[in-house]
Amino acid sequence: MTGLVEGKTALVTGAGSGIGRGSATVFAREGAKVLVADVDDALGAETVALIRAAGGTAEFVHCDVSVDAHVAAAVQRVLELWGRLDCAHNNAGITTMGGPLHEISLADWDRTLAVNLSGVFYCMRHEIPVMLRQGSGAIVNTSSGAGVVAAKGLAHYAATKHGILGLTKTAAQEQARSGVRINAVCPGVVETPTLRGYMERGPEIAKMIQNSTARGVMGQPEEIGEAVVWLCSDRASYVNGETMLVDGGTVAR
């Protein structure tokens, strides 16, 4: 049996670790050639090595998604390598220190918007024209459970994740007749290096995070990747503008 995205090409941002790495490995397992994009060169190289060791095809490009020129170069690199861009997972994001809205620093606000929201805008800004020229393509943006419900103490993060859904739905409607589909995933609590770092601050924090999930267990990056790759596959051909919660039922709506 062929893979879900056999013979296709994929660009994954923030693919050096966490959900991005999980997504990149699933893309490769399902037959896609993957351009791993990340601001951390060492972690990006690790992801490429993991994919190649498993028999997949992957290359790395340094990319800070908060810089439009970096994103343009990453998209161009896909074309240089493989001649087309079939799938894109715009995943790169950050979480800075939280607190009540009025205590969030301007620096944290600006940086969070630059990476999480402007970064997704820059990615789609360069990906969509390529896909339009091809007459086909699929984009998945990473939002969050904090994109559909409030996240007390994380106003800056929640604002960006809500904003990603607005970008996704608008772009999806704009391209509905073009052959380009655009969707979003909203992961719940996923076991990533960032989350593990928070949990290591103390057993109380770890317990709180664990108990915040409906199933009592954290999701794995590859579980999010499975949803992303399916959305990019031809099996999801009639799915467009969708906000897919991948959280084990934590945010049931």
CB-based burial, 137-162: b 16+ in 10 Å, e otherwise: bbbbbbbbbbbbeebeebbbbbbbbb
Dihedral of alpha carbons 106, 111, 116, 119, sign = positive
**Spatial contact of 65 and 92, defined as CB atoms under 8 Å apart:** yes
Side chain identity at residue 34, one-letter code: V
DSSP 81-96: HHS---EEEE------
On the CB side of 125, CA atoms within 13 Å amount to 15
Report the DSSP pairing between strands 9-13 and 33-38.
Answer: parallel
Q: Helix crossing, 68-82 with 119-134: angle to 10°?
A: 30
Paired residues of 238 in beta bridges: none
* Catalytic residue status for 238: no
The 8-class DSSP code of residue 36 comes to E
Residue 183's identity, in one-letter code, is N
Q: Which residues are catalytic?
A: 157
